[in-house]
Amino acid sequence: MMKPKIWSPAIWLFVFLISVICHTPQAFPWGSNAHERMTDAACDSLPAEISSFFTKHRQELAYHANDPDRWRRELLFRIGLKYEKDLNSGQFTAELRQLFETHGIEFPQDASVSLRGKDGRWFITVDEQEYPIRKESDKLYLLGDKINLLENRSAAPVLLGSEEGTHVVLDTKEKLLSLTSLNVYKTGDPSEGPRHFLDIDLYGPYPFVELPHNYDDAVAKFGEGTVIKRGLATWRIANYTQLLSEAMKSGHAEKIVQTAGALAHYVEDIHMPLHVVKNYNGQLTNQHGVHQRFEDDMVDAYTEQIHLTPKMASEIEDPLETAFDIVLDSYVYADNLLHADRQAKLGEDSYGTPYLEKFFRFSGWIAVQRMSEAASATASYWYTAWLRAGKPELK
């Protein structure tokens, strides 16, 4: 494990100056748009032979860069910092109620609804009728024919769901106290999830030589179930590089754009330090929700101060090995990120604005660095797929 570092004011001044110097006019919200932003930057990092095709399709590429998350689960809506006060104060305000209602989750004025835990199990109670909730790590599922997944990555289990005829209201008395945001999802393809990460530190000590990089060898050594559970991102990237080459050979523009967008997503994901470690949500160090606090909450709040500076694309000799190298690079940032979260929380009783302000000071540079690297790597994978396809003319 790396020793956490304390960052001196000089470093912060440096990071601040760099971000001022590198200021560009476009500012996208991170949150669900992080992938859009990195993919957009990748379009500007390509050699002349292919840059016109990618810049022409930059909007569609940015859209398709979010496809893999759509396959995994569909975000219905997010209750973000805007509602922090309501959530923390225990109020279910008219505005919150309306937010739910616009998404088809209704609340009758007279129903008494609450969420509560009992013997480690969770229930939604609607007019005294209990609906059990299934809990899997930090995700909660409301059991029913029509399952809605509501996930709260910012706090201990809190959730509400809705099915036909069921009405839900937030009961904030118990576990909502440190809640800053709540995502409401619909479930998708369950096999998609593991393709977005690789928890490399489950394979012994750095540099994790225990894990064979060849997929069949890894499966032979650890069993398929284990390999899948620990994450498949590197193999997915190699596979998608191949698929992109094939799409380019076929000359089918839409197919190229879709495949390139999905490839961008996987490449960008493994640049996020918490996509490559077992403590991916701070759950092992009592820092539940750090994943979202970093990639959504913090960068949402400070997006204007995060400017990407990707390098130009270059040919990748071995797409699989490069993906493993990226995982190792990302890994070394994870401890710093977790340390920054702990430091920022000191003296705060919630993960609200004062916390976020500190968290950004301590870890904003990690977002800038990893997102910039992700944009250049994405461009390099696209470029490599094109070289391997025999440099076809893209139009």
In the complex, least distance from residue 270 CB atom to Zn ion, rounded to whole angstroms: 9
Report the residue number, 67 or 201, with the smaller CB distance to Zn ion: 67
Report the residue number, 274 or 344, with the smaller CB distance to Zn ion: 274
CA distance 80 to 296: 9
The letter for the amino acid at 27 is A
- What tokens does 347 get? 């003296």
In the complex, least distance from residue 233 CB atom to Zn ion, rounded to whole angstroms: 9
* Measured CA angle at 72 (ends 297, 79), to 5 deg: 30
Q: Does 269 bind Zn ion (CB under 5 A)?
A: yes
In the complex, least distance from residue 69 CB atom to Zn ion, rounded to whole angstroms: 5
For the four alpha carbons of 29, 33, 35 and 36, in that order, the dihedral sign comes to negative
From 26-34, 67-75, 209-217, 291-299, span contacting Zn ion (CB under 5 A): 67-75
Q: Which residue is nearest to Zn ion (CB)?
A: 196
Judged on CB neighbours under 10 Å (0-12, 13-18, 19+), 132 is middle
From 247-255, 269-277, 350-358, 364-372, span contacting Zn ion (CB under 5 A): 269-277
Mark residues 278-307: x for contact with Zn ion by CB under 5 A, - for none.
------------------------------
* Unique residue bearing structure tokens 């099915």: 163
CA distance 6 to 360: 14
CA 338 to chain centre: 16
From 42-50, 104-112, 264-272, 330-338, span contacting Zn ion (CB under 5 A): 264-272
From 66-74, 81-89, 255-263, 314-322, span contacting Zn ion (CB under 5 A): 66-74
Q: Does 196 bind Zn ion (CB under 5 A)?
A: yes
In the complex, least distance from residue 269 CB atom to Zn ion, rounded to whole angstroms: 4
Report the residue number, 34 or 344, with the smaller CB distance to Zn ion: 34
E-only strand ranges, 83-198? 113-118, 121-126, 129-136, 139-142, 148-151, 182-187
In the complex, least distance from residue 65 CB atom to Zn ion, rounded to whole angstroms: 10
The secondary structure of residue 78, as a DSSP letter, is: E
Report the residue number, 78 or 196, with the smaller CB distance to Zn ion: 196
In the complex, least distance from residue 21 CB atom to Zn ion, rounded to whole angstroms: 31
Q: How far is residue 392 from each of residues 240, 241, 244, 249, 325, measured CA to CA in Å?
A: 18, 15, 12, 6, 28
The letter for the amino acid at 74 is E
Report the residue number, 271 or 339, with the smaller CB distance to Zn ion: 271
Cβ-Cβ contacts under 8 Å for 108 (sequence gap 6 or more):
167
From 9-17, 49-57, 237-245, 265-273, span contacting Zn ion (CB under 5 A): 265-273
Helix axes 353-388, 48-56, angle to 10 degrees: 120
- The residues that touch Zn ion, with contacts defined as CB under 5 A, are 69, 196, 269
